[in-house]
A and B are shown apart, each in its own frame.
Chain A
């Protein structure tokens, strides 16, 4: 028994580690692909060189992010079988096809349009190139669609029946459009846009702080500040709606997020901070506001929220983790909102590009999109424990019959390899960003890529950027 639980913990750590590193790169590509669409659209419309310059610059970074996402995704495609053979045996008939579709979609996108977008400047007309960029952005959202359909189905499963303990799909439309899917898809897509915006804004702030204030840098900064002003409140509304959905389908997750143990009558208070203790079944050092919990989670003054004690101890998610991961996410959101509003005020006063403390703030907020994204995923994934398919299959029954030595060894190997490889990738992205959009002459960039054929290089997006990595 001890052996099994060790394997379970190690396998979960491994999955958490590999997917947390992986998700960063797709989020960057989803966000930046759509940003490229906006830039190219503005360029075609206005003919201003600055949009083209920015488009070239950010498409390079998009390409490196995309390449890293593909590489780190390969591991995921095999991890389900290697570490989670119970899950793939019982639920593979639903989860497997959805992931197969994601892979097929992603390759379709690569085979078709990525090459034109990255290397086709000289070969196709401006309109066709714009179409390719739009389709690449759409393709990244299609991948998001399939991955989130799969994840949401695991959170709120429907459209299947059990035959001999194995899941057999009945209705694919019900499986894909399961109750939590629309909320999760919207929440994740906006999150990816916010990741893009915070990175673009942070990068531009760094250049402004270093006294470089060319038109490209100012434009990036302005667009990012505007995007955050719009996206942060929308994301909070989307998150709120997602929360209502979760309260309906996964009440234990909501109780754990709020560190709520008792079902309070006549209105639930909200714990602002505190330390949920799973063993003592109470939240220590809690600072709470009466009725606020009901107000936020039920949108009424005295709506009822079920406390954790209504669920058997073996069915409770770890409140200590999700209480704090949720608050980190919300904290980031509030800071983003502040960033957006301050940006608006400075913009109205014509001080957007020369307010030093605001640039420091924007630079510090550069990683905030990624932090919020990962904190949000931890909340939803730890919050649905101890289930891997909610109410159907326990995580403990999903793990492979492996020894803890095996899983521990592979975890260590993967940590070393990932830190080396994706550390290098992240370093290269930062290095490209540090060069800035003004440093690269677009015409020379086109020339460097002119000898490349779009026929094949599309599958090597990382060859888009030609800047040296160690000089």
Chain B
């Protein structure tokens, strides 16, 4: 029996994108919540909650891009021109945000400017990622293995809504993270945001789900054709369950539960996305097999990935474990 390398690689890259959403989502969210907290103490604490991990979180984006190039070059070379400007803007946002994060700690007089760069960079990156996801979901015109659409095909009410939706989702994740990692007044204020934020997130997920099901017969067929819905029904039901759980956690004062449930919603939403598009990697026509590099290329990279990815995973888990617990104002900063 020969291994189906495209399926294995789809699994690896799928996992990489999922880890990215899981990990970088809340730390981009910190940037989105930044303007609502005061300059002196609180922002410092907020940054310190993600300082040890944010750079590692973005690792998955670089790794995802490089591996997509190596093993699915046709997906890489059709998706990127289709979402050209959002990708450039996202990268610029991430550069600004990353450098602002480091320089802010070394800046005195110019700290306000770096704060602004951090906020704008986070918001741009989050919005553009949503637009890219939305564009992918609405489908990209491919003829003969090449992107055949227009420069602004990505601009649609749907993709812009997805951009705003991801912005809200990341901010919500940021709230959950701060409730988990902080205490006192900062925690009290973010806890108040939990209920409204998770309701908005639920609404966003609901609208995007309905929009795709109504707008795209193929997606509707995937979810409702035959007995499929019987198998897929747990996804939306579990999302509802998670939101109820977040409400109860907000009332009972449980600190970790809200964040964990939010990440569970991310997992469910991502599963929903995969259910809608699999086995396509760039809907509506490009499947993972059509997009694949030759077998020798996929095998060559797989050897390296199987050695190094587990090490990075263990290392990431270790880093989160070392930095578990609350971050307090006046703690020895990590800068």
Taking Cβ atoms with an 8 Å cutoff, the residues of A that contact B are 67, 71-75, 77-78, 80-82, 85-86, 88-89, 92-97, 99-105, 107-108, 111-112, 163, 168-170, 172, 400-403, 405-406, 409-410, 413-414, 417, 421, 424-425, 428, 451-453, 455-457, 459-460, 462-463, 465-471
**Residues of A close to B8: CB separation below 8 A:** none
Contact of A100 among B70, B78, B84 (CB under 8 A): B70
Check A467 against B301 for contact (C-beta < 8 Å): no
| Contact A169 to B81, CB < 8 A, known contacts A71-B95, A97-B293, A99-B69 | no
Would you mind naming 6 contact pairs between A and B with Cβ atoms under 8 Å apart? Answer: A75-B95, A82-B88, A93-B294, A111-B312, A169-B296, A400-B147
Check A402 against B81 for contact (C-beta < 8 Å): yes
Across the A-B interface, give the 10 residue pairs with the lowest CB-CB distance, nearest first: A92-B73, A81-B80, A96-B70, A100-B70, A85-B77, A456-B52, A459-B55, A96-B69, A103-B66, A456-B319
Check B76 against A168 for contact (C-beta < 8 Å): no
| Contact A82 to B87, CB < 8 A, known contacts A71-B95, A455-B322 | yes
Kindly report which residue of chain A lies nearest to residue B147, judged by CB atoms. Answer: A401
Contact of A463 among B69, B96, B102 (CB under 8 A): B102
| Contact A401 to B95, CB < 8 A, known contacts A168-B294, A465-B106, A471-B109 | no
Within 8 Å of chain A (Cβ to Cβ): is B71? yes
Complex Cα spacing A73 to B91, Å: 11
Taking Cβ atoms with an 8 Å cutoff, the residues of B that contact A are 51-56, 58-59, 61-63, 65-67, 69-71, 73-74, 76-81, 84-85, 87-89, 91-92, 94-96, 98-99, 102-103, 105-110, 145-148, 151, 293-294, 296-297, 300-301, 304-305, 308, 311-312, 315, 318-319, 322-323, 332, 334-335
Nearest Cβ distance between residue B56 and chain A, in whole angstroms?
5
Check A103 against B322 for contact (C-beta < 8 Å): no
Contact of B91 among A74, A172, A428, A455 (CB under 8 A): A74
Complex Cα spacing A406 to B297, Å: 32
Nearest Cβ distance between residue B148 and chain A, in whole angstroms?
7
| Contact A96 to B297, CB < 8 A, known contacts A74-B91, A401-B146, A455-B322 | yes
**Residues of B close to A95: CB separation below 8 A:** 69
Nearest Cβ distance between residue B150 and chain A, in whole angstroms?
9
Complex Cα spacing A402 to B73, Å: 18
Complex Cα spacing A381 to B148, Å: 29
Check A414 against B92 for contact (C-beta < 8 Å): yes
**Residues of B close to A81: CB separation below 8 A:** 65, 69, 76-77, 79-81
Nearest Cβ distance between residue B111 and chain A, in whole angstroms?
9
Nearest Cβ distance between residue A355 and chain B, in whole angstroms?
36
Complex Cα spacing A74 to B94, Å: 9
Complex Cα spacing A459 to B79, Å: 29
Complex Cα spacing A96 to B63, Å: 12
Complex Cα spacing A163 to B109, Å: 60
**Residues of B close to A75: CB separation below 8 A:** 91, 95
Complex Cα spacing A469 to B106, Å: 6
Most buried by B among A402, A424, A460: A460
Complex Cα spacing A103 to B61, Å: 11
Contact of A414 among B80, B81, B88, B147 (CB under 8 A): B88
Check B107 against A468 for contact (C-beta < 8 Å): yes
Kindly report which residue of chain A lies nearest to residue B104, judged by CB atoms. Answer: A469
Q: Besides A82-B84, A100-B71, A400-B84, 20 other CB < 8 A contacts?
A: A72-B95, A81-B69, A82-B88, A93-B296, A100-B67, A103-B63, A108-B311, A111-B311, A168-B294, A169-B294, A400-B80, A403-B151, A424-B103, A455-B52, A455-B318, A455-B323, A459-B59, A460-B52, A460-B102, A470-B107
Complex Cα spacing A100 to B79, Å: 18
Kindly report which residue of chain A lies nearest to residue B309, judged by CB atoms. Answer: A104
Check A169 against B95 for contact (C-beta < 8 Å): no
Contact of A462 among B91, B102, B319 (CB under 8 A): B102
Check A107 against B81 for contact (C-beta < 8 Å): no
| Contact A469 to B81, CB < 8 A, known contacts A99-B66, A414-B88 | no
Q: SS class of chain A's interface: helix, strand, loop or mixed?
A: helix
Complex Cα spacing A400 to B102, Å: 34
Check A471 against B108 for contact (C-beta < 8 Å): yes
**Residues of A close to B145: CB separation below 8 A:** 89
| Contact A97 to B300, CB < 8 A, known contacts A77-B65, A168-B294, A460-B55 | yes
Check A88 against B52 for contact (C-beta < 8 Å): no
Kindly report which residue of chain B lies nearest to residue A106, judged by CB atoms. Answer: B62
Complex Cα spacing A185 to B245, Å: 57
**Residues of B close to A409: CB separation below 8 A:** 85
Complex Cα spacing A231 to B94, Å: 38
Nearest Cβ distance between residue B71 and chain A, in whole angstroms?
7
Most buried by A among B146, B300, B334: B300
**Residues of A close to B103: CB separation below 8 A:** 424, 428, 469
| Contact A456 to B69, CB < 8 A, known contacts A75-B91, A169-B297, A402-B84 | no
**Residues of A close to B322: CB separation below 8 A:** 453, 455-456
**Residues of A close to B147: CB separation below 8 A:** 85, 400-401
Check B95 against A421 for contact (C-beta < 8 Å): yes
| Contact A401 to B148, CB < 8 A, known contacts A74-B91, A92-B77 | yes
**Residues of A close to B148: CB separation below 8 A:** 401
Check A460 against B95 for contact (C-beta < 8 Å): no
Check A463 against B335 for contact (C-beta < 8 Å): yes
| Contact A88 to B69, CB < 8 A, known contacts A107-B59, A402-B151, A462-B102 | yes
Check B59 against A470 for contact (C-beta < 8 Å): no
Check A453 against B297 for contact (C-beta < 8 Å): no
Most buried by B among A86, A111, A428: A111
Check A406 against B151 for contact (C-beta < 8 Å): yes
Most buried by A among B79, B87, B91, B151: B91
Nearest Cβ distance between residue B254 and chain A, in whole angstroms?
26
**Residues of A close to B98: CB separation below 8 A:** 71
Complex Cα spacing A462 to B293, Å: 36
Complex Cα spacing A108 to B59, Å: 11
Check A100 against B66 for contact (C-beta < 8 Å): yes
Contact of A104 among B92, B96, B304 (CB under 8 A): B304
Complex Cα spacing A95 to B323, Å: 38
| Contact A100 to B59, CB < 8 A, known contacts A77-B66, A169-B296, A410-B84 | no
Nearest Cβ distance between residue B126 and chain A, in whole angstroms?
16
**Residues of A close to B77: CB separation below 8 A:** 81, 85-86, 88-89, 92, 400
Complex Cα spacing A453 to B333, Å: 11
Complex Cα spacing A428 to B146, Å: 43
Check B80 against A78 for contact (C-beta < 8 Å): yes
Complex Cα spacing A107 to B315, Å: 11
Nearest Cβ distance between residue B234 and chain A, in whole angstroms?
35
**Residues of A close to B323: CB separation below 8 A:** 453, 455-456
Kindly report which residue of chain B lies nearest to residue A91, judged by CB atoms. Answer: B73
Check B108 against A92 for contact (C-beta < 8 Å): no
**Residues of B close to A467: CB separation below 8 A:** 106
Complex Cα spacing A73 to B77, Å: 18
Kindly report which residue of chain A lies nearest to residue B56, judged by CB atoms. Answer: A459
Kindly report which residue of chain B lies nearest to residue A75, judged by CB atoms. Answer: B91
**Residues of B close to A67: CB separation below 8 A:** 102
Kindly report which residue of chain A lies nearest to residue B78, judged by CB atoms. Answer: A85
Kindly report which residue of chain A lies nearest to residue B92, judged by CB atoms. Answer: A417
Kindly report which residue of chain A lies nearest to residue B315, judged by CB atoms. Answer: A111
**Residues of A close to B301: CB separation below 8 A:** 96-97, 100-101
